[in-house]
Structure 1
Amino acid sequence: MIGVPSYHAIAAMVITVAMFIAFARGRMSVEIISLLTIAVIAVGLYFFPLPDTQPIDGLSLAFSGFGHYALITICALMIMGRGLVVTGALEPAARFLERIFKFNRQLGLLVSLLVAMLLSMGVNDTPVLVLLLPIFVQLAARGAMAASKTLIPLNAAVLIGGMATTIGTSTNILVVSIAVDLGMPEMGVFHYTPIVLVAAIVALPYLWLVMPRLLGDNRTENLHELRRFETRLRVTEDSILNGRELSEVVARLPADIEFDDVPLGLLRPNQRLRMTGTHEAIEEASRILRGDAAPSWVLDRIRRRSSETRTDIAVVEMTVTADSRLIGRTLPSSGIADLYGVAVIGIHRPKRLVGKKDDFSEGGNLRIAEGDVLLVLGLPDDLQLFARSDSLLTLEGMRELPRRSKAVLAAAIMVGSVGFASVGLIPIAISALAGSILMFVTGCVKFDRVGRALSGKVIVLVAASIAIGRIVLESGAANWLGSVLAGGLQYLSPAAVLAAIMLFVTFLTNFASNATAATVGTPIAFAIAAQLGLPPEPLILAVLFGCNLCYATPIAYQTNMLIMAEGSYEFKDYVRTGVPLVLIMVTMLSLALVVTYGL
């Protein structure tokens, strides 16, 4: 006879359901709901403490998430991901995938999903997603599919791949270890991989073709036409243009780049090419061609001062006002580089000014006019001094250039952190924390820019999910639910028994934690197998699979939270895309277990 749950267990279940409903409705922000959940647990346990505990213990439980290793791990991983982005370490991988996406977006997404699945079979889920996340954010910025349409499918692919081997996730290892302690033989690394691959083949079309359509586009639309800047690109000694014709390399340049008055024959050092394009296109073309869009001496000076002062180089757009002394002057005659140590790498002329008299000087240089927009590169203090002194109005916020000199170092730190964690030498929490500290010490990430790497929404959500997981376990709610499940399975077919166990564990893992689901579900499945006269292994595997079906809520797994800020996701996005995937996986895994074990 199943007893009535304690009032603590009832309260824990009510709080969990209430939090889910509040998240799903979306009327309050994630941060407010998370903080309210923590507050309710803290106040409730202070006045109604758990048995054999003190009121102060309830406060420790409610706020334990803010000091939990899982939160520290997530923050450290965010910092390392930021380091890869600001140093440009991921640009080669992003450009490779960008070529596939440009050839065919659907093919690019399919290749990405398959790579994610294969990697996560041998490497822990979290490091795999940490490596892929900033790449796909950069791909979105380069014009591929929006990050909001790719990150949830990518995360699901990583989780499916991690399910396929006993070393794919720490939860798999935990379930197998508990099963061995209960008397089952130890499973090999690929013991149940074929079962997962069957389900993955059925789920892949949903991830690839359906899931992106269920997600919105978080890219902001340009309400105005992108400005096109004119620049004079100088051919340098080490430029790929040196000794070649422009037509030989033009196919490698961004589509937005156009050339005017192209000289005939082979190009030589110090020749200048008149080039127009958007800000991003000019920057990319200069990198590919290894040419200079401003005098070499001022660019070298800016880089040297940046290295000496450890200050990032920035690019900003400024418009020329009626009071500016620059009106009527050309860039060579303006003295901008000498006076302020900044470099003007392009000029945008509004259409209303095009075609006016005296646009160009006798030397062919464009005369600056009121309303022109200058694209200026330099150190932040020098840029501000230039704007104030020459009556310029800043149009766009400063955009910092990647610190490419640190790219190899940042990549090495990330690979080292992921590598040590993947082979099991040290836990991911320790390797991620050590990696983030190295990012700070080596200057890959700066202390005053940490706020850009971390997401307050994710931090409070992680803390709330940890508190919910602990109260569900320590109040006895999880054990009571398991008892109810065991009491009703005797009337079901083997396939339905497996599906019910898997769904029960899936519920726990999506609202509590993987560890809670594994700790509670494995002994229950073993006991149910004995009661129903079924072999224990398929029921234990049902628990293992259920622990990995954490797609339906952002609080189910730390990778779900890692993508939340970058994809601009809401709670309902996980529910809308994750629930169908859970049903597909539960159905296919249950059938595959029945066929494999002849139930």
Structure 2
Amino acid sequence: MNGSMMITLTVLALASAMFISGKVRSDLVAIGALIVLMLFDILTPAEALSGFSNSVVIMMVGLFVVGGGIFQTGLAKMVSSKMLQLAGTNETRMLIMIMVVTAVIGAFVSNTGTIAVMMPIVVSLAMSAKTNPGRLLMPLAFASSLGGMLTLIGTPPNLVIQEVLQEAGYEGVSFFTFTPIGLVSIVVGVAALLFLRRFLPKNEQDDDNPCNGRSIQELAQQYRLAQNLYRVQVGPLSPIHSKTLHELEIPSRYALNVIEIRRKISAKNQFFKTINQEVARSNTVIQEEDIMYVHGPFERVQAFAEDFDLTLLDHQVPENKQSSNAERYATEDVGIAEVLLTPTSSLIHRLIKESGFREKYRVNILGIHRKDQYLLHNLKEEKIRFGDAMLVQGAWKDIALLANEPDVVVVGQPIEESRKVTMDNKAPIAAGIMLLMVLLLITNFIPAVASVMIAAVLMIVFRCVRSMEDGYKTINWESVVLIGGMIPMSIAIEKTGAAALLSEGMVSLLGDYGPLVLLAGVYFTTSILTLFISNTACAVLLAPIALAAALQLGVSPYPFLFAVSVGASMCFASPFSTPPNALVMSAGRYRFSHYIKVGLPLQIVMGIVMVAVLPLFFQF
């Protein structure tokens, strides 16, 4: 063993120990390992940085943006709600359904592409079912790898052994030759994870930031907004046509508050925004077909509608109605928030109508929470008292500006809340982009990395992700740096001869004990190596060795080559061994120890089962 090999293995061992301890950030460990390997001239600077130009890393960046688009358009929520109807909130049924669906997709789409499609849906499903996403995301990642064994194109190692067999003069494998092995893998994987899930993060409340404030739905329910919001539409004969809200004096005459106007702007393409939403201001001019959102008692809204020949679009809402109708108050442009005033504010003891909230801050006050009371009507004549919590509605950008005022405290984070409001009108576009990406990945018409990057760019161009800045925010840079930093480690392992030494030594050691023991040796050697080098590189390295060992024993090479393919693909014990494992790490809030507790037993169990069943499918 030469010095370079010793240094490489030592760096690998130290990095693994730090990953397991979790005391140092994983991306910092990966970069530190790279620096050490460069300092000892084991890797050139170009080799050390090659991980960041690797197609897998670039794909990961694109997939985060694609996932952001699927989330922000509400597509994930729509699909997850359908899945929720099928599985209910039972965690066992959800886990089984997610793994089976993911495995089927993984049979035709790369495991990274499968995660891109499924991860936003699964996170949304978990949130809807009030389940910790960490309970489902690791099974999702593992299922994408299990599904790769169902078909010839499911994972690159399958194609590697196909090529090795054909070059050696043997008959290649067909598209579905792998299917029986894949089915066994999925059954074993699902059964094992139903037992091993006890080691996944528990369903605990997220108390990281207790000052985030209440959600939009909670605020709407708390202030009983559903019982006080009505819509009236302006007809062609209405006398309020072309008048400003200031001229109409609706608050003083009817004790009502007009909070929003929705106006049709285009009907040409239903995929794009057709309704303009704006907060009602004193200078807002009413136009024909405008829909006015009016806040106040039903009787007064009815009188207002009759006096001005308006069409009342809603009936009276019963008090026991549970729906909060929060979606009427919060869209991608407009939202609600709770605000407090500091003791030194000049607005304290002023009447609402004199506060200038609408004129100065461009927001409407919908209600006041004072001690145990909620004041919702005739607010203009109310004096603001210290300790009052006021529910305001306005454009998200105006609420965010209000938060910058020194005398005003906005409970929660308006910009963060605005990002939670989905752009449902863009969901068909996001679905089309996702379908295009899947078709490109299946057909291999262009390289996989190009397919993902095209999808990511289209998500931004068609505003499925709100802006380029939001696109950058969807990317988890820790995962990107972790994978980019660890990929060159495999170069060092191969370059120093450590991989060849381990693989050849293991096979030569076990060759005298019969084909079954040698098969186990090939499988577990592959399984260990794939923790540190990519599954494709692992298969390329070990497939010729497995073929030569089988020929030396005078037995069929098929079970040995399939052992290489399966062993290279079934890698669960490390977060950086496969892109899916890394992709779910941040969203599931996993530590390295979670992969050891759940992934390592699964990897061992899978190995034992595969060594037992491979000779049944492919005779020695």
Task: Give TM-score, length-normalised by structure 2.
Answer: 0.78
Check whether the contact 1:164–1:193 (CA below 8 A) recurs between aligned residues. Answer: yes
1:588, 1:477 → 2: CA distance? 28
The answer for the alignment partner of 2:282 in structure 1 is: none
Shift of the alpha carbon at 1:410? 2.4
Check whether the contact 1:230–1:348 (CA below 8 A) recurs between aligned residues. Answer: no
The answer for the alignment partner of 2:182 in structure 1 is: 196
Check whether the contact 2:132–2:203 (CA below 8 A) recurs between aligned residues. Answer: yes
**Change in CA separation of 1:483 and 1:361 when aligned onto 2, cut-off 3 Å:** closer
**Change in CA separation of 1:551 and 1:342 when aligned onto 2, cut-off 3 Å:** same
1:452, 1:385 → 2: CA distance? 21
**Change in CA separation of 1:120 and 1:365 when aligned onto 2, cut-off 3 Å:** farther
Q: What aligned pairs does 1:207-286 form with structure 2 within 5 A after superposition?
A: 207-217=193-203, 219-221=205-207, 228-231=222-225, 232-236=227-231, 269-271=313-315, 273=317, 282=324, 285-286=325-326
AA in 2 matched with 1:83: G
**Change in CA separation of 1:37 and 1:348 when aligned onto 2, cut-off 3 Å:** farther
Q: What aligned pairs does 1:475-514 form with structure 2 within 5 A after superposition?
A: 475-514=496-535
2:117, 2:84 → 1: CA distance? 16
1:349 is paired with a residue of what secondary structure? strand
The answer for the alignment partner of 1:252 in structure 2 is: none
Indicate whether 1:39 and 2:35 are aligned: yes
**Change in CA separation of 1:106 and 1:329 when aligned onto 2, cut-off 3 Å:** farther
Check whether the contact 1:90–1:135 (CA below 8 A) recurs between aligned residues. Answer: yes
Q: What aligned pairs does 1:88-487 form with structure 2 within 5 A after superposition?
A: 88-100=74-86, 102-217=88-203, 219-221=205-207, 228-231=222-225, 232-236=227-231, 269-271=313-315, 273=317, 282=324, 285-287=325-327, 292-293=328-329, 313=334, 315-321=336-342, 323=345, 325=347, 336-337=357-358, 340-344=361-365, 347=367, 349=369, 353-354=371-372, 359=375, 370-386=386-402, 391-398=407-414, 399-400=417-418, 401-445=421-465, 446-487=467-508
The answer for the alignment partner of 1:53 in structure 2 is: none
Shift of the alpha carbon at 1:402? 2.3
Give per-residue Cα distances to partners, 1:480-504, cap 9 Å, x unaligned.
Answer: 1121012112233433222221111
**Change in CA separation of 1:347 and 1:492 when aligned onto 2, cut-off 3 Å:** farther
Shift of the alpha carbon at 1:326? 7.6
Shift of the alpha carbon at 1:448? 1.9
2:17, 2:597 → 1: CA distance? 14
Indicate whether 1:20 and 2:64 are aligned: no
1:366, 1:407 → 2: CA distance? 42
The answer for the alignment partner of 1:532 in structure 2 is: 553
1:209, 1:329 → 2: CA distance? 62
2:339 is paired with a residue of what secondary structure? strand
2:100 is paired with a residue of what secondary structure? helix
AA in 2 matched with 1:415: L
The answer for the alignment partner of 2:68 in structure 1 is: 82
Give per-residue Cα distances to partners, 1:30-86, cap 9 Å, x unaligned.
Answer: 1221111110111111xxx5xxxxxxx711111211222221111111111112212
Question: Given the alignment, which residue of 533, 546, 562 partners 1:541?
Answer: 562
**Change in CA separation of 1:195 and 1:439 when aligned onto 2, cut-off 3 Å:** closer
Check whether the contact 1:124–1:168 (CA below 8 A) recurs between aligned residues. Answer: yes
AA in 2 matched with 1:229: Y
Question: Given the alignment, which residue of 4, 25, 32 partners 1:8?
Answer: 4
Moved more, 441-450 or 419-428: 441-450
Indicate whether 1:589 and 2:583 are aligned: no
AA in 2 matched with 1:429: V
Shift of the alpha carbon at 1:236? 4.0
Shift of the alpha carbon at 1:194? 1.3
2:428, 2:355 → 1: CA distance? 38
**Change in CA separation of 1:460 and 1:261 when aligned onto 2, cut-off 3 Å:** same
Shift of the alpha carbon at 1:208? 2.8
Shift of the alpha carbon at 1:14? 2.6
Check whether the contact 2:105–2:114 (CA below 8 A) recurs between aligned residues. Answer: yes
Indicate whether 1:69 and 2:55 are aligned: yes
**Change in CA separation of 1:72 and 1:199 when aligned onto 2, cut-off 3 Å:** closer
Check whether the contact 1:234–1:271 (CA below 8 A) recurs between aligned residues. Answer: no
Q: Indicate the percent of aligned positions where both proteins have the same amino acid.
A: 23
- CA-based RMSD of the aligned residues comes to 3.4
